[in-house]
């Protein structure tokens, strides 16, 4: 525990500043907040050429954007960024959110087909449950692009724009490995519990596999001890990425397995889970002095504030402006016959075909680089993080 507590001590120092300032947060109130400033295409990253350079080459085209939920901030940003980029090219945009309700998303896509959209961009709630409506779109001659989450079990998907989903897991795993110097752990052990993503989202298993690629050996050799005994994806996945379920699960773990023990790591796949764990830990009496490592994904505003204040250790920055940009090149490709940028034609087999993909690169963010990554890049303003 010594090394862990050295780390925790550093965090505690940051935390004490917050505590003195009366800034300690109420976990149950952690909710998605503001959205990142959208930017002109191309400003967001040096990663690739911008597709959306001015002009109005999508004038007269109608694009349907089916997003999964507004309960998590990132999708609000994704939808907003894509809408503004497509509109800047002259397209008409129909943007709908499915409230994490599969049937609602199906109805929304049906309505978009009825409105004769020229192309569909879909971030699925349940990646395998849209095959019928995808076939209806194909029958109506409407091309489909999978956004962030792969559309499974269908031939009717032209391209896929996403982040390197296994890479997200690798980055999370590597962060924990480095933070605790697991390579040199010797006899040192750390307790750890896993909170993985939704089993109906193809990304979730990729992320888990990435984590295990880095940390698997430490679970196997006993450096990482999982007192609940739950280490498989099946045993640790959380349906629909529910923050509430993550909180309840963490509460159960703390009560059942950590009554007289310290939980050292909450290895979570999503900022929402990190909020749930934070609430559970606070409820169980954890304080800045013995706060565990908590990982997350998306760098939501609340998560970033928690990182700044020491209540969350790290998150994954996924620049939704860049992803939107890549997706727009795909919309242009299917509507105008241009060539979208593709950097993977192997990994993403949806059960029917390998879908040509552009993968953006995920980046780890913690207290040391959040300003540079999120504020200097224009993703958030300083005011949003106050």
Q: Does 148 bind ligand BGC (CB under 6 A)?
A: yes
- Which residues partner with 195 through β-bridges? 268
Burial group, residue 306, by CB count within 10 angstroms (0-12, 13-18, 19+) = buried
Is the sign of the CA dihedral 221, 224, 230, 236 positive or negative?
A: negative
What are the structure tokens assigned to 117, written together? 């959209």
- Which residues partner with 138 through β-bridges? none
- Kindly state the number of chain residues that form the binding site for ligand BGC, as judged by CB under 6 A: 11
Touching ligand BGC, residues 259-288 (CB under 6 A): 270
DSSP string for 303-352: HHHHHHHTSS-EEEE--HHHHHHHHHHHHHHHHH--PPP--BSSS-B-SS
Q: Does 241 bind ligand BGC (CB under 6 A)?
A: yes
Nearer to ligand BGC, 154 or 165 (CB): 165
Q: Do residues 193 and 149 make contact, with C-beta atoms less than 8 angstroms apart?
A: no
- Site track for ligand BGC across 298-317, x = CB under 6 A: x-------------------
Q: Does 350 bind ligand BGC (CB under 6 A)?
A: no
Q: Do residues 73 and 32 make contact, with C-beta atoms less than 8 angstroms apart?
A: yes
Q: Does 319 bind ligand BGC (CB under 6 A)?
A: no
Nearer to ligand BGC, 159 or 241 (CB): 241
Which DSSP helix (H) or strand (E) runs through 94?
A: strand 92-97
Q: Of 50, 243, 295, 297, which one interacts with ligand BGC (CB under 6 A)?
A: 297
CB of 107 to ligand BGC, least distance (A): 21
Q: Does 201 bind ligand BGC (CB under 6 A)?
A: yes
Q: Does 177 bind ligand BGC (CB under 6 A)?
A: no
Nearer to ligand BGC, 201 or 264 (CB): 201
Q: Do residues 318 and 75 make contact, with C-beta atoms less than 8 angstroms apart?
A: no
Q: Does 77 bind ligand BGC (CB under 6 A)?
A: no
| Residues composing the chain | 386
What are the structure tokens assigned to 163, written together? 């982040």
Q: Does 72 bind ligand BGC (CB under 6 A)?
A: yes
Tell me whether strands 363-366 and 314-317 are parallel, antiparallel or unpaired. Answer: antiparallel
3-state secondary structure at position 287? coil
Q: Does 74 bind ligand BGC (CB under 6 A)?
A: yes
Q: Does 38 bind ligand BGC (CB under 6 A)?
A: no
Nearer to ligand BGC, 258 or 317 (CB): 317
Q: Does 203 bind ligand BGC (CB under 6 A)?
A: yes
**Alpha-carbon gap, residue 262 to 190, rounded angstroms:** 9
Nearer to ligand BGC, 162 or 332 (CB): 162
Q: Does 149 bind ligand BGC (CB under 6 A)?
A: yes
CB of 298 to ligand BGC, least distance (A): 5
Residues of this chain that interact with ligand BGC (CB under 6 A) are: 72, 74, 148-149, 201, 203, 241, 270, 297-298, 318
């Amino acid at each position: 525990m010594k090394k862990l507590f050295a780390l925790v001590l550093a965090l505690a120092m940051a935390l004490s500043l917050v505590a003195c300032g009366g800034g300690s947060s109420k976990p149950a109130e952690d909710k998605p907040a503001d959205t990142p400033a959208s930017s002109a295409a191309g400003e967001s990253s040096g990663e690739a050429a911008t597709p959306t350079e001015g002009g109005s080459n999508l004038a007269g085209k109608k694009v349907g954007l089916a997003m999964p939920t507004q309960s998590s901030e990132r999708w609000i940003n994704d939808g907003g960024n894509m809408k503004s980029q497509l509109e800047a090219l002259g397209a008409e945009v129909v943007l709908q959110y499915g409230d994490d309700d599969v049937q609602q998303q199906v109805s929304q896509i049906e309505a978009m087909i009825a409105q004769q959209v020229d192309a569909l961009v879909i971030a699925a709630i349940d990646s395998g449950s849209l095959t019928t409506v995808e076939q209806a779109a194909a029958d109506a001659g409407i091309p489909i692009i999978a956004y962030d989450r792969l559309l499974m079990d269908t031939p009717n998907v032209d391209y896929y724009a996403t982040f390197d989903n296994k890479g997200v897991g690798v980055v999370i795993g590597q962060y924990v490995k480095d933070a605790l110097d697991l390579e040199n752990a010797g006899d040192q052990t750390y307790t750890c519990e896993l909170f993985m993503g939704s089993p109906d989202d193809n990304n979730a298993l990729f992320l888990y596999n990435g984590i295990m690629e880095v940390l698997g050996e430490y679970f196997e050799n006993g450096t990482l001890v999982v007192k609940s005994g739950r280490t498989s994806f099946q045993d640790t996945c959380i349906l629909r990425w529910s923050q509430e379920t993550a909180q309840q699960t963490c509460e159960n773990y703390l009560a059942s397995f950590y009554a007289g023990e310290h939980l050292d790591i909450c290895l979570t796949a999503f900022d929402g889970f990190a909020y749930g764990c934070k609430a559970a830990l606070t409820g169980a009496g954890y304080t800045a002095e013995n706060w565990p490592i908590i990982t997350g994904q998306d760098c939501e505003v609340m998560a970033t504030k928690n990182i700044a204040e020491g209540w969350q250790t790290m998150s994954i920055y996924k620049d939704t402006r860049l992803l939107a940009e890549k997706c727009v090149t795909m919309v242009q490709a299917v509507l105008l016959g241009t060539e979208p940028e593709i950097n993977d034609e192997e990994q993403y087999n949806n059960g029917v075909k390998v879908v040509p993909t552009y993968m953006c690169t995920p980046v780890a963010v913690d207290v040391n680089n959040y300003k540079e990554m999120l504020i200097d890049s224009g993703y958030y303003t300083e005011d949003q993080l106050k």
